[in-house]
Structure formats: structure tokens, C-alpha cells
Structure 1
């Protein structure tokens, strides 16, 4: 069982893929209450579903460049796909636990 969230690039991608990805990255700072978007999945439109509750320091990627790299290098595309799937699974599990904690009998959302 993974004890840390799979959102860290350093642990999620092999070094060669990580260095390629960071080649199209730039550091970005977002203020508290900034709306964050997702660009990886169709329809590649701004969905502004996440709202930062604290200031955020992160990396911003050139979406078109990353998608091109994924299309031209199957190993890189596979690694990115696995990373995104791990992040989504982690977020879904966290949301499930939170909903169970709020609406189910006490303790239903935690694992034994």
C-alpha cells in the first residue's frame, strides 16, 4: 500500500521521463482561492473545478508539447498515463473517504 500521495513527479516518473517533462515546465505561483484547471483529458477545455485554499507553488506545463511527447514516445506516454491514473485514483479514494466520514456511520471511511 502506498503511504504517500502519487502526485510527486520525483517518485512517479523514471528519471529520463521526468527530465523531458521538466524541460517544458515553468514554476508557477497561485494565490489562495485561485481556480486551477485540467488540460490532460478531453475536451481540453478549462474546467476550473479545483479551488486552492492556500497559496500554491507548482509547475505549469506546455500542454501541447506534453501531448506531442506522449504521442511520439510510447514509453513516455505510458509513464504519464500511469502517473495521471494514480493521481486520479488517489483523489477518488480521498473523496470517497471524505463522503463516508460525512454521511456514513462513524468510522466507515477509514481502512483497517
Structure 2
């Protein structure tokens, strides 16, 4: 696996432990990968393609608030209780990704506090960037 995004935030040993839990998946254009308020039981590291993150707007189509591309982390809600998606996600081009089930990754984090810290630090950075992107797109210039 390429060392970008979350993988670049880990030591070589931490990356090896984490990637041992990955499986390759793909999503065709238009696939709803997850829905806002659904159970966040996995996450993905994108290899190719683009996914739009969106927010429900009553009476309208979901509002796109950010995009995730190659190397990007898709999904952080798996790490933070109550483990429910805060946004929805849809593939807007063919996507290939590494998929991780949350429970084994959380168990790995419990056994390795340094890995836990590295993942939490990366996820906090992703959350901050996504909040800024959502604010920019929703409030606009």
C-alpha cells in the first residue's frame, strides 16, 4: 500500500499491523457507500477515484460538503462513539479502496496506544479539514 494520508501518519510497523486487516473493494459510479446516521462499522483508504461527502437537506438533494480522493480517508465516525455516520458518501467516479472493519482496528488500537494516538491525531486533522470545507461550501462566498 502507498504511504499517503493515514498510512503516512504511521510507523512502518503500525502500517504493517493495520494493513494486515485490509481488504480490497471497489465501488461503481453512483454507489451510496454510507448514509448519514447509519452504523459506522468500517472505513476506507481510497486508492483511486473520488467520493463526495454530503449532508441531508430537507426537501432538497443532499448538499455536497467535501470530496475524498486517492490516498484519502473515507470515514472517521467508526472511531468516535456512538459510531454513526455524520455525513453520507457517494462514489462519483469508479473507486478502488482498502476497506477496514472498525472492530478489529479498534481492538488493535487498544493493544497499541501509539497506533491509537497516531490514528486519533490523523482523524482529528481530517475532521478539522472537513468542517472547514463544509463551512466554505455551505456558506459560500
**TM-score of the two chains, using structure 1 as the length reference:** 0.71
Partner of 2:17: 20
SS at match of 2:99: strand
Higher relative contact order (CA 8 A, sep 6+): 2
Q: Indicate whether 1:96 and 2:135 are aligned.
A: yes
Shift of 1:46: 6.3
SS at match of 2:29: coil
Q: Indicate whether 1:80 and 2:131 are aligned.
A: no
Stretch deviating more after TM superposition (9-18 or 64-73): 9-18
Partner of 1:53: 92
Select which of 23, 32, 37 maps to 1:35.
32
**TM-score of the two chains, using structure 2 as the length reference:** 0.58
2:23, 2:100 within 8 Å by CA — same for their partners in 1?
A: yes
- Name which one, 1 or 2, has greater alpha-carbon Rg: 1
CA distance in 2, matches of 1:95, 1:87: 12
Per-residue displacement from partner, 1:32-55 (whole Å, max 9, x unpaired)?
122223431323356771122222
Number of residue-to-residue matches in the alignment: 96
Root-mean-square deviation (CA, aligned residues, Å) is: 2.2
Partner of 2:37: none
Higher helix fraction (1 or 2)? 1
SS at match of 1:17: helix
